[in-house]
Structure 1
Amino acid sequence: MNISMDLMNKTSKHPCYSEKAHEYARMHIPVAPKCNIKCNYCNRKYDCQNESRPGVTSSVMTPEKALKHYIDMKEKVDKLSVVGIAGPGDALANFEEVEKSIELIKAYDEEVTFCLSTNGIALPDYMKQIVELGVNHVTITINAIDPEIAANIYKFVIYRGIRYQGVEAGRIIINNQLEGLKFLAMNNVLVKVNIVYIKGENEDHIEEVVKKTKELGACMTNIMPLIPVKNTPFERKERVTQEEILKMRKKCEKHLQQMYHCKQCRADAVGRLNGKGCCNKKEIS
């Protein structure tokens, strides 16, 4: 992948893609409430002041509200360089709202960098539009490349209006994720792959995920510990220690660049990735 100078410049100011960009801030706009899969570790609570994790937000915004919020935060947050769409559901399950939000904010500020996070199941349907929108950074959560392992992680997936379960669901989501990753990487989009480290499910498989995603053009992987959440099938899963996460990242670093500074932020987070409370709702650090 040949990275343009413009993309290199944008990446140098993107705190999730460059650890050296810690002086720059990002904001997540929660414009994507719907989701098209059910992960066994996910509970999308909309209003939880005391939780900072993916899927949590205090409210869902319309594209117009997201623009107003961006304008407000741009005045208050120094070096706000990135707008991300990371939920509380999946960006591509809400593509109309996501597209409009990006267009409105881009019309106001041509310099801002956009990124979005997705589970990837709908990538074959939207990957061309992502490129056409000018989104240069995409994060795909890929927890397995073996359908049998994936079948234990996802309760079900919905693709083109049809609900799938078990190994068939695993096969569909993996095929779509990998197809989308390859296409985006070939079209000058930097793709980061998130992998949730789940004890008893994929810990012996993570290195294979890293190898495969590198082969298809991923620029880095972000191996994150499972956060056991109440009222989910994985609520009693053993927590992954910081030592175990570090060991896994070091093991996989020989294949592909690893992210060490992820804070597993809320869907409405604002601020820098360093400093106390940086991932809380509308936190300015």
Structure 2
Amino acid sequence: MAENEYRTATVGDRDVPYDPEQLRKIQEHPCYSETACHTFGRCHLPVAPHCNIQCNYCVRDFDCVNESRPGVTSKVLSPQETIELVRKVIQDYPYVKVIGIAGPGEPLANPETFETLRLVHEEFPHLIMCISTNGLLLPEKIDELQKYGVGNVTVTLNAVDPAVGEKIYSFVNYHGKHYTGREAAEILLKNQLEGIRMAVERKMFVKVNCVYIPGVNDDHIVDIAKKVGEMGAFSFNLILLIPQYKFAEVVPPTAAEKKAMQDRCAPYIKQMRHCARCRSDAIGKLGQDVQANVYSGCSRK
């Protein structure tokens, strides 16, 4: 490819060269571009019910049609059901350019995720493939993700110090063993950072989600942003805590506190400021979900 066919995208404080196909994965992805979110949409496929860690703020629910937050879906689909769904979505809503798997559990801990990626990528290779993960299995699954065309990876990273991480995670299940406390946090962090490194090395676009938890990681968030910015992550999405489970009594940050924290992180990495905290079955443009209409027209067992 001729040199003049490359353009650049700003990653942190650097202009990084990307070819046109890589740039498309920014320009048509509503989470990676502030302008794309008004024009393009995404379709989340809820095929991954199981999780391999327990975050102290996370409750995964099913059949909660009135809730809009991560970990919620009306139904878990089989890989075969997703093909019917994607066909209908791109026919009825051609502005949908992104197919994502974001739960309701941990996508990389569910074999259905990879079968879904295979089926969708084979039939719709032009669609942007996106994964959200806690990062525990990212290093060992990264090549399989690349094989199925996944070019956008979101990693939830709430600490870069295990002393902070052990306050956030109840346990980690890894390769058949159950870990708690500092050991669990150390294993998770090691794999998260290695997975981010490997994804960047493969020229995947990495977005880092970070849950803002007052009294737990609020003094640590700038350190997280600085670290992942140095590693070459594309953007940083600060998410306000939803008080539930073990953090049910924690008062969440205000919108003003969120903005102030984003401003502090901005010198180190591009900030995503338009997150809609999507459900695991979200379809449509951010803030304009249409999944109720879509599912009413699909055969569902």
Alignment TM-score > 0.5, same fold: yes
What corresponds to 1:137 in structure 2? 152
1:85 aligns with 2:105: no
CA offset digits 1:111-134 (Å, max 9, x no partner): 100100000011122112122222
- 1:244-283 Cα shifts (integer Å, max 9, x gaps): 1111111110111000000101000001014xxx247446
Partner of 2:262: 249
Question: Could you tell me which amino acid in structure 2 is paired with residue 30 of structure 1?
Answer: P
Bigger radius of gyration among the two? 2
The one-letter code of the counterpart of 1:53 is: R
Counterpart AA for 2:57:
Y
Deviation digits for residues 141-183 of structure 1 (CA, Å, limit 9, x no counterpart):
0000110110010000111111110011111100000000001
- CA shift digits 1:212-231 (9 cap, x unpaired): 111112011000100112xx
Q: 1:9-158 to 2 correspondence within 5 Å?
A: 9-22=24-37, 23-94=39-110, 96-158=111-173
Q: 1:264 aligns with which of 277, 285, 298?
A: 277
Structure 1 unaligned regions, length at least 5: none
Give the 3-state SS of the residue equivalent to 1:66 in structure 2. Answer: helix
CA apart distance, 1:10:
2.4
1:214 and 2:195 aligned: no
Q: 1:240 aligns with which of 228, 238, 253?
A: 253
Tell me if the contact between 1:57 and 1:281 (Cα under 8 Å) persists in the aligned partners. Answer: no
- Give structure 1 regions of 4+ aligned residues with deviation exceeding 4 angstroms: none
Alpha-carbon contact 2:121-2:148 (below 8 Å) kept: no
Task: Name the counterpart of 2:4.
Answer: none
1:136 partner SS: strand
What is the distance in 1 between the residues matched to 2:137 and 2:78? 21
Q: Could you tell me how far apart the structure 1 residues matched to 2:78 and 2:65 are?
A: 21
Counterpart Cα distance in 2 of 1:104 and 1:78: 19
CA gap of 1:41–1:104, structure 2 versus 1, over 3 A, is same
For 2:28 and 2:292, locate their aligned partners in 1 and report how far apart those are by CA, in whole Å: 20
Identity %: 41
Size of the alignment, in residue pairs?
A: 278
For the aligned residue pairs, the C-alpha RMSD in angstroms reads 1.3
Residues 272 and 233 (structure 1 numbering): CA distance in 2 closer, same or farther, change over 3 Å?
Answer: same
Match of 1:184 among 194, 199, 202: 199
Aligned partners of 2:293, 2:207: CA distance in 1, in Å?
24
Greater strand content: 2
Decide which moves more: 44-53 or 69-78. 69-78
Asked if the contact 2:160–2:224 (Cα under 8 Å) also holds between the matched residues in 1, the reply is yes
**What secondary structure sits across from 2:207 in the alignment?**
strand
User: C-alpha separation between the residues in 2 aligned to 1:25 and 1:210?
Assistant: 27
Amino acid in the other structure paired with 1:78? P
Cα-to-partner distance string for 1:65-122 (whole Å, 9 max, x where unaligned)? 011111111122131100000000011001x211211221122222100100000011
Amino acid at match of 2:112: E
3-state DSSP of counterpart to 1:175: helix
